[in-house]
Chains A and B, each alone.
Chain A
Amino acid sequence: DAMVIQNPRYQVTQFGKPVTLSCSQTLNHNVMYWYQQKSSQAPKLLFHYYDKDFNNEADTPDNFQSRRPNTSFCFLDIRSPGLGDAAMYLCATKAGQGNEKLFFGSGTQLSVL
């Protein structure tokens, strides 16, 4: 059974039209991450939550926002998508602050037309 669930699997949006990607987890993990993965590139960390404590990476554009209303759910909001934001977006969770493994969802492939 999937433990980190991302919906939808494929998302198409228009240039400049806000879009929200969702992630839910059944693991009750404290930490949730959002990564952006462009074709043939390494996944790049956008931000993460430790419980409700939000941590933004220094080079994450302001266009990207996130919400975590409860332990189970986390959302990625792209306020005005550009063509360069087309990518796979990966959600991951982790139990605590150490070097435990991450659990990834299957990702959402975002296309911007």
Chain B
Amino acid sequence: GNSVTQMEGPVTLSEEAFLTINCTYTATGYPSLFWYVQYPGEGLQLLLKATKADDKGSNKGFEATYRKETTSFHLEKGSVQVSDSAVYFCAATNAGGTSYGKLTFGQGTILTVHP
């Protein structure tokens, strides 16, 4: 099955700093890739996704590009805000669109942004 590996956290940044959270995956075929975010006290919510190689997902200033050659989907943001403090999860569906869209998650990266 799939596996997803994220950079270990926690990550602590000052406001307006540049953010990168690395994510790599192993899968047969071409999975769809996702970033989910979990704010304190809330459930996970989709941040962005990409469904094929070279696609770029973007939302709220965050971006990630599906890199098939490096099997990566790194999350970036040019200028983080305090409100971005959360846990970020990289995830992949089973390649080939297995029914029910079963997701495999990475272990999550805690991001803390200080004023």
- In the assembled complex, the CB of B30 is this many whole angstroms from the nearest CB of chain A, namely 11
Residue of B32, B34, B101 touching A94 (CB-CB under 8 A): B101
Q: Are A43 and B51 in contact (CB under 8 A)?
A: no
Q: Are B97 and A104 in contact (CB under 8 A)?
A: no
- In the assembled complex, the CB of B77 is this many whole angstroms from the nearest CB of chain A, namely 20
Within the assembled complex, what's the spacing in Å between the Cα atoms of A48 and B106? Answer: 19
Beta-carbon nearest neighbor of B8 in chain A? A40
User: How many chain B residues have a CB neighbour from A under 8 Å?
Assistant: 25
Q: How large is the interface on A (under 10, 10 to 19, 20 to 34, 35 or more residues)?
A: 20 to 34
Residue of B46, B103, B106 touching A45 (CB-CB under 8 A): B103
Residue of A41, A42, A99, A105 touching B43 (CB-CB under 8 A): A105
Interface residues of A in 76-101 (CB under 8 A from B): 90, 92, 94, 97-101
B44 contacts A by Cβ under 8 Å: yes
Given A42-B4, A43-B89, A106-B43, A101:B102 Cβ within 8 A: no
Neighbouring A residues of B4 by C-beta, 8 Å? 42
Q: Are A100 and B101 in contact (CB under 8 A)?
A: yes
A31 contacts B by Cβ under 8 Å: yes
Q: Are A42 and B106 in contact (CB under 8 A)?
A: yes
B112 contacts A by Cβ under 8 Å: no
A21 contacts B by Cβ under 8 Å: no
A55 contacts B by Cβ under 8 Å: yes
Which A positions have Cβ atoms within 8 angstroms of B? 4, 6, 31, 40-43, 45, 48, 50, 55, 90, 92, 94, 97-107
Which B positions have Cβ atoms within 8 angstroms of A? 4, 32, 34, 36, 41-46, 49, 51, 89, 93, 97, 99-108
